[in-house]
Amino acid sequence: MKINHMKIDPGMTTLQLIEQMGKSGVLGAGRMYRATELLAEVISDEETTVFLSIAGPMVPGGLRKIIRDLIADGHVDVVITSGANLTHDLLETFGGSHYREHDETDEELCQMGMGRIGDVYTKAQDFEVFEKKISTLLEEIAQKNNQLNIREFITEIGNSIQDPESIICTAAEKNVPIYAPGIIDSMLGLQLWMFTQENQLTLDAPGDMHELSDIVYSSKKVATVILGGGLPKHYALASNILTGGVDAAIQVTLDRSEAGSLGGAPLEEAKSWAKAKCGSKLVTVIGDATIIFPLMVAGAREKLDK
Amino acid sequence: MKINHMKIDPGMTTLQLIEQMGKSGVLGAGRMYRATELLAEVISDEETTVFLSIAGPMVPGGLRKIIRDLIADGHVDVVITSGANLTHDLLETFGGSHYREHDETDEELCQMGMGRIGDVYTKAQDFEVFEKKISTLLEEIAQKNNQLNIREFITEIGNSIQDPESIICTAAEKNVPIYAPGIIDSMLGLQLWMFTQENQLTLDAPGDMHELSDIVYSSKKVATVILGGGLPKHYALASNILTGGVDAAIQVTLDRSEAGSLGGAPLEEAKSWAKAKCGSKLVTVIGDATIIFPLMVAGAREKLDK
Amino acid sequence: MKINHMKIDPGMTTLQLIEQMGKSGVLGAGRMYRATELLAEVISDEETTVFLSIAGPMVPGGLRKIIRDLIADGHVDVVITSGANLTHDLLETFGGSHYREHDETDEELCQMGMGRIGDVYTKAQDFEVFEKKISTLLEEIAQKNNQLNIREFITEIGNSIQDPESIICTAAEKNVPIYAPGIIDSMLGLQLWMFTQENQLTLDAPGDMHELSDIVYSSKKVATVILGGGLPKHYALASNILTGGVDAAIQVTLDRSEAGSLGGAPLEEAKSWAKAKCGSKLVTVIGDATIIFPLMVAGAREKLDK
Amino acid sequence: MKINHMKIDPGMTTLQLIEQMGKSGVLGAGRMYRATELLAEVISDEETTVFLSIAGPMVPGGLRKIIRDLIADGHVDVVITSGANLTHDLLETFGGSHYREHDETDEELCQMGMGRIGDVYTKAQDFEVFEKKISTLLEEIAQKNNQLNIREFITEIGNSIQDPESIICTAAEKNVPIYAPGIIDSMLGLQLWMFTQENQLTLDAPGDMHELSDIVYSSKKVATVILGGGLPKHYALASNILTGGVDAAIQVTLDRSEAGSLGGAPLEEAKSWAKAKCGSKLVTVIGDATIIFPLMVAGAREKLDK
């Protein structure tokens, strides 16, 4: 099949641009097109349960609203993420922000009370507010029920806050479960630990697996969209091993495969483990998720709207 | 400064999407926005001479028309590229194509007479036609003038073909010089060598430097857009050393910097060599140029149209 | 300071080679030398508690014995790893192996009952044995104590097996704690979950934090060696936030920093978060840990022997 | 085949370490072992002509002596490199050096007259000496013969200097040809251009191809060792297309393949182009050449000594 060259028309929509990438169909452009097509397909298919795995600093990196909107509009059915993204979501709910355009050294930032994630900055004051608010929340939650699985715990937080912009709050409202198997490894986890030193609150990690397996078993098809690697990637794929693997998967990553890390592993590898079905649709886009994911979502949502 | 979260509106134009990335302003999204802004700025500034350095398989990868249109519309003033991209441009002019969607092994492809560049494929028959046509062209050119610098040689080719879709042809028409200091290392170079075994045709490599230095000296400002690394990147930056360096540069690459290769080197490094001026505007976007460059061009051209 | 060129003498020891890299002192070679020096320094310093964070397939990738020996010889005081590396350690303890040199597709591997990690392969039969043996172990452990933190749980496993080659077993013998905050996301975690569906066994995730903070508070200095990113990297750094950060850190990774992922983040960034002290010694080597870590350990151990 | 775990014995030689990597045989460690074995094999095989392609800052990065020794000891038969590496070789011959351990910004370095390549630094004074000395050399060479191909020009330089540590000088002595198809794009090329503005000296780029094709045709087998990408990689592979491709190739790179750049392209791809023979032995090691190449050479030379 012949390659057609992409054509730029000023003012073209994002979908029109992505369709030009599809006309070419090779290298990154081809993968970008196929990923967008697949995303639109799995979202619009009523029989497909859509998982979204979010590793990396997606909330600090400006994707909070895009993720929140996907949940609010019913395009995502299950979220798997890190404790860090939950922490940063709450940080904004509690009045904090993420900042940019600093040029201090890391040692200077430390003295100023600022934490750095690439070129994103946080303020210690915002974390202090976070700590106060979250400890009040933890008390409220523990009074109601001091034995929860991690998903229930996150839902409880979502039910306790009023912030339409929050991923956690929106997910709670829309009954979209959020799983965070590594929640303890985060500022939220640290607060949780400090709380449990003087209070009774038990989080049952294996408990989530019951729910997750129910979701997988009751889904006709499962698709998973994976931003970054780590636990959120593995947990999404591994939870589908029970039914022979996902039916479709999209991953966006800058990690590479040669050293064998899961983050950089090709999705094809998941087939050998029955974490992706034989014949499943798998697309990887190599790139920075803060560029690739907004482009993909814009294209897919435009396609859905048609 | 606070980070705003990106918002996707289905049907948004590419510039609208990129402006959302600018509202966030961090990580890849921030760089994508700043690169697009800078591209629009240098194109629209009458005093800035715009260089475009093209390494990597940009013609096979579907960018031929985007590059040709930038030249045709006067947005690019100087092109620096590899012999390979020139070869692939002519391959299509002479009736050949680039192909996709093969799943043979490299050994099978070899037996089928197909060459592979990632997931782009070429056919031996197309190269055979290329060889016949280019040797006729070489004869015509050598008859007129058998002592040329490389740029003149490429312009002569451009003048000898009628293909409005060709980068070489369009550049010749628009008086946009194309430099290819490593031209000999390509299929075109191989044909050139074979031709010179029985014919007289001398290409003067240093000869280009006279012209290029004239361009640099007569430019009020120079901006360079760099796709990939290698000779095209270095040549563009090094030729500006004569006037203290470029005023602006944009690079798109997946190479990394730690091993010291030029391809992955941060543009900042060029300042130490006086290849980029102190205070020059420099933006690097990490990503696949077949995704990033179309997006950037679409955004910049939309902005120019306003 | 002038760079000296490296000199190869056939038969030179690994330390002699690394010292040549130090004579050059730049690019990867310089980082390799400084990392080896730092590793030898923190191991030999009685006042420094050495953490080892292991993400990625280090046990499948042939590093099991190197890690086990570091623990056995008292060179590592705390291990933080993934559930996967624990699973693969036990897989071998229970008679299984890791395999190489297969050329089947992932779909064929799936049908053959083989899982793939890069070019490492596993057999379903080995996992079946693992499942049987681990469920017996879980019963024994639960009978003794059905409320454990994750570290205690891993130590219990270590105490229950007799395998001098096992990381888990050796760590238990040497009183080296192993933390695995994401343990649930692994085959071991899956078995744990299945076991808890019919049996009583609670793993207290926050529980580990008490211990870990005691270790950090009682250490004069802490150094952490980080292979790969993910939870094991973050957990090691974050647990030192309580005392203002680690005093030294070495990381080996192929991840890159631009998209903001923790795996690729420069260690310097940890200073802004007080996860590494101002003035702490930090070295990153970009490379494949299965090459870089054995080379570094060989060099450091040779230095220690002198 | 089962994987054996690597074992570190303090004081082990580099070959012993690499043989441990071979016992494991997977991921980077396996590739490191296979590359070392292949290097020893092609060097020791009298029928194999060994090409060495050197891109990236290998001379500034401390590899000058390792390369020079390989040439001096008859282990390398053809060198293909960039004008930059030749420039930096001569810079040291003329009394200059490469420097390390500066922490100035690039703008400050520029004002100090220092150029930066990663963490390698150069001094303007050294380049001034280089300029004076090279222009004298150019005069001498042009007086003898003002029409040379590039290889002859480099050999003439080698014959004109007395520096046993120089790659160019040693290669000239040992009759090892050095090809640099992109020579013009370097400080040496810039001097050449300035010289030709007032003097007669023509470098015939296609001229090298005659010689190179003679070498390829007269070799029973060809192996190529490739450090980095760019022209040196392509030229080595492409010159072997005439005889159906190389018989063996080793590449060391940190570039990746997805965007289609030659630097990151898998060696297998060369088979489709008949630049590597079907059945040829091909090994890629992902890593920083300043670490990987010294380790590989140390291992291979130790093996040869046995």
Those residues of chain B whose CB sits closer than 8 Å to some CB in chain C are 26-28, 256, 258-260, 286
3-state secondary structure of C179: strand
Give B-chain residues touching D116 at CB under 8 angstroms.
269, 272-273
Supply the ipTM of this predicted assembly.
0.97
The predicted pLDDT at position C197 comes to: 87
The predicted pLDDT at position C135 comes to: 95
Please indicate whether, in this complex, the C-beta atoms of C302 and D10 are within 8 angstroms of each other.
yes
Residue D306 has pLDDT above 90, yes or no: no
Nearest CA in chain A to B123: A2
Nearest to C205 among A84, A115, A184 (CB): A184
Closest-CA distance of chain A to residue B224, Å: 20
CA distances for B258 relative to B230, C31, C229, C278, angstroms:
16, 10, 18, 24
Q: Chain D interface, mutation test: which of C2, C8, C69, C301, most D Cβ atoms within 10 Å?
A: C8
pLDDT digits (tens, 9 = 90+) for D197-241: 889 888 877 788 889 999 999 999 999 999 988 899 999 999 999
Q: Which of C275, C277, C281, C303 is catalytic?
A: C275
Give C-chain residues touching B26 at CB under 8 angstroms.
260
Please indicate whether, in this complex, the C-beta atoms of C286 and B27 are within 8 angstroms of each other.
no
Nearest CA in chain C to B27: C259
Domain A1-44+220-306: CATH superfamily is Deoxyhypusine synthase (3.40.910.10)
The predicted pLDDT at position D89 comes to: 98
Q: What is the rounded average pLDDT of the residues D88-113?
A: 97
Q: Chain D interface, mutation test: which of C1, C2, C5, most D Cβ atoms within 10 Å?
A: C5
* Alpha carbons within 13 A on the beta-carbon side of A254: 32
Nearest CA in chain A to D255: A256
Q: Under CATH, what is the fold of the domain C14-305?
A: Deoxyhypusine Synthase (3.40.910)
- Helix (H) / strand (E) element for D147: namely strand D147-149
Residue A206 has pLDDT above 90, yes or no: no
Give B-chain residues touching D272 at CB under 8 angstroms.
106-107, 109-110, 114-116
Predicted confidence band at D74 (pLDDT cuts at 50, 70, 90)? very high
Please indicate whether, in this complex, the C-beta atoms of C291 and D62 are within 8 angstroms of each other.
no
Q: What is the rounded average pLDDT of the residues D154-176?
A: 98
The predicted pLDDT at position B97 comes to: 98
Closest-CA distance of chain B to residue D284, Å: 16
Give D-chain residues touching B214 at CB under 8 angstroms.
none
The predicted pLDDT at position C204 comes to: 79
Residue A205 has pLDDT above 80, yes or no: no
**Vertex A296 angle, CA A293 and A299, to 5°:** 150
Active-site residues of D, by number, are 275
Residue type, D225: V
Closest-CA distance of chain C to residue D200, Å: 37
Closest-CA distance of chain A to residue B34, Å: 12
**What whole-number distance in Å separates Cα of residue C154 and Cα of residue D289?**
40
Q: At what angle do helices A14-24 and A27-44 cross, to 10 degrees?
A: 120
**What whole-number distance in Å separates Cα of residue B22 and Cα of residue B30?**
5
Q: Which of A275, A277, A281, A303 is catalytic?
A: A275
Q: How far is CA B33 from the centre of its chain?
A: 21
**What whole-number distance in Å separates Cα of residue A98 and Cα of residue A117?**
10
The predicted pLDDT at position D115 comes to: 97
Pick the CATH number of A81-218 from 3.40.50.11890, 3.90.180.10, 3.40.50.720, 3.40.910.10: 3.40.910.10
Mean pLDDT of chain C: 96
Q: What are phi and psi of D282, to 5 degrees?
A: -130, 125
Q: What is the rounded average pLDDT of the residues D87-116?
A: 97
Q: Chain B interface, mutation test: which of A16, A27, A68, most B Cβ atoms within 10 Å?
A: A27
CB A288 within 8 A of CB B28: yes
The predicted pLDDT at position D235 comes to: 94
| Minimum mean pLDDT range among C139-153, C183-197, C202-216 | C202-216
The stretches in chain B having pLDDT less than 50 are none
> Residue A211 corresponds to which tokens in the numbers above?
């729910």
The predicted pLDDT at position D298 comes to: 98
- Helix (H) / strand (E) element for C224: namely strand C221-227
Q: What is the rounded average pLDDT of the residues C288-304?
A: 98
**What whole-number distance in Å separates Cα of residue D71 and Cα of residue D73?**
5
Looking at chain A, which residues constitute the CATH 3.40.910.10 domain(s)? 1-44+220-306, 81-218
Mean pLDDT of chain D: 96
The predicted pLDDT at position D207 comes to: 81
Strand partners, A281: A248
CB B202 within 8 A of CB B227: no
Residue type, A159: N
CB D239 within 8 A of CB D214: no
Q: Is B65 a catalytic residue?
A: no
Closest-CA distance of chain D to residue A45, Å: 30
Nearest to B17 among A25, A27, A298 (CB): A298
Those residues of chain C whose CB sits closer than 8 Å to some CB in chain B are 26-28, 256, 258-260, 286
